[in-house]
Structure 1
Amino acid sequence: MALLSGLLVGRRFVWGRSVIALMLREMATSYGRSPGGYIWAIAEPVAGVALLTVVFSFLMRSPPLGNNFPLFYATGFLPFIYYISLTAKLGQAIRFSRPLLAYPAVSFFDAILSRFLLNTLTNLLVFVIVAGGIIVVYGLNVSLNLPVILEAFSMAAALAFGVGTINCYLFSVAPVWERVWAILNRPMFILSGIFFLIESVPEPFRTLLSYNPLVHVIAKMRQGFFPTYDARLADPLYVYLVSLICMFFGMLLLNRHHRMLLNEGA
């Protein structure tokens, strides 16, 4: 029994060390190539929110919710770019870590998990800095509902992980899918509720838009920042169900074909 426990601890240590090593490699290659690597991770969403604020402040007197344009658009834009960037990065996980996957101690799941953890922590930090900066700069009196905000972020994380695992297989077996995926996501910027509230959309378009899981994520996020907003159409169960289905098929395909994908790329 003691021997079995020792083996399990040893395997966990090796597994954890592999994931941490992959995370450090990701940090060095993605953010460490230039001094402004992490600064750009913050500057990009700030520029996006600023652009939306300038454009729509000329078109509307006040945002659809609250009275501060930057906060309204940040609560939609930040979860959206987290999802988009993470699904793309997870899709490239095998390609990025292919040389290391030849070692028995490193698996395709390690490559996916390391990218997921690093980019989730990075985006969570960016979210806190940008949203907190808006509140401080504009002197907003915001009553934050932290459990709801964390729930919304966990919904976005689960959805990105599920879709990202399928992308990891599809990007490897059909590289053209990476371009197709980028094209398909362009209208999502408009259809995910960044600029509007789903409750204000008339039927039957409201029902059609509700099939987009990101609509539920953004609605739940805004509920955490605006106490007067009742995100009655947000359905976390639907988001988690879509996430689990995507994750199941993604992991199933990768588990069956990851060796073939590695040999094709060799």
Structure 2
Amino acid sequence: MTGLSGLLAGRRFLWGRSVLSLMLREMATSYGRSPGGYLWAVAEPVAALTLLTVVFSFLMRSPPLGNNFPLFYATGYLPFMYYTALTAKIGQAIRFSRPLLAYPAVSFFDAILSRFLLNTLTNLVVFVIVMVGIIAFYDLNVSLDLPAILEAFSMAAALAMGVGTLNCYLFSVAPVWERVWAILNRPMFLLSGIFFLMETVPEPFRTLLSYNPLTHVIAKMRQGFFATYDARLVDPLYAYSVSLVCLFFGMLLLNRHHRMLLNEGA
């Protein structure tokens, strides 16, 4: 038993070390070589939110919820960008780590998990910095619902993991799908509830929009920042179900065909 425990502990250590090494490699390539590095990760959403605030403040007297434009749009834009960025990163995991996947100690799941962990931590830090900055700059009296905020992030993370894992296979076997996916995702920026509340959309469009799991993520996030907002249309079970279905088929396909994908890219 002692020998078996030591063997399992050694394997866990090697697995953890490979994941950490992949995370450090991506930190160096994604942020260490770009001008500004991690500073740009904060500056980009700030610039986007500033533009949205300026444009829509001219069109409307107040946002659809609350009275602060940056807070309203940040609660929609930041979770949406977290999902889209993480989905793209996970989708490119095999291509990015292909040279290292030739080693027996590194698996395709290590590549996916390392990208998931690093980009989730990065986006969480960016989210906290931006939201705290908005609340402090405008001196807002916000009553935070932390369980709702964490659940919104959990839903977004699950969706990104599931869709990203399925795309990791599809991007590798059919590179043209990456371009098609990017085109299909463009309307999602307008259809995910960043600019409006689901409750204000008339039927049957409200039901159609509810099939987009990101609308549930954004509505749940807004519930966490606006105490008067009742996100009664949110269905976490639906979002998690979509995530699990995509994750199941993504892992199934990668487990069966990852060696073929590696050999084709060699």
Instruction: Give the TM-score range, shorter chain.
Output: over 0.9
Q: Which residue of 2 aligns with 1:93?
A: 93
SS of equivalent residue, structure 2 residue 106:
coil
Q: Deviations over 1:16-58 (max 9, x none)?
A: 0000000000000000014501011111111111111111111
Q: Which residue of 2 aligns with 1:199?
A: 199
**How many Å separate the matches in 2 of 1:37 and 1:181?**
27
- Counterpart of 2:23 in structure 1 is 23
Matched, 1:156 2:153: no
Deviation larger for 29-38 or 3-12: 29-38
What letter matches 1:228 in structure 2?
Answer: T
Residue matched to 1:183: 183
Any residues of structure 2 matched to 1:83-232 within 5 Å, and which? Answer: 83-232=83-232
Equivalence for 1:251: 251
Runs ≥4 residues deviating over 2 A = none
Partner Cα distance (1:183, 1:22) in 2: 29
- 1:82 lines up with 2:89 in the alignment: no
Q: Which amino acid aligns with 1:223?
A: Q
Could you tell me which amino acid in structure 2 is paired with residue 166 of structure 1? L
Separation of aligned partners in 1, 2:183 and 2:55? 23
Residue 46 of structure 1 corresponds to: 46
Q: Distance in 2 between matches of 1:57 and 1:69?
A: 7
Which amino acid letter does the alignment assign opposite residue 17 of structure 2? Answer: R
Counterpart CA distance in 2 for 1:105 and 1:160 is 25
Counterparts of 1:59 and 1:203, CA distance in 2: 25
Q: Whole-Å Cα distance in 1 between the matches of residues 34 and 77 of structure 2?
A: 26
Stretches of structure 1 that go unaligned for 5 or more consecutive residues are: none
Q: So what's the TM-score if we normalise by structure 2? A: 0.99
* Pairwise CA distance, 1:68: 0.1
Residue identity over aligned pairs, in percent, reads 86
Whole-Å Cα distance in 1 between the matches of residues 81 and 34 of structure 2? 22
Amino acid at match of 1:22: L
Q: Structure 2: how far apart are the matches of 1:36 and 1:199? A: 40
- Provide the alpha-carbon RMSD of the alignment: 0.6
Secondary structure of 1:219 counterpart? helix
Cα distance in 2 between the residues matched to 1:44 and 1:185: 19
Q: 1:127 is aligned with what amino acid?
A: F
Q: Which amino acid aligns with 1:62?
A: S
For residues 165 and 35 of structure 2, what CA distance do their matches in structure 1 show? Answer: 31
Match of 2:5 in 1: 5
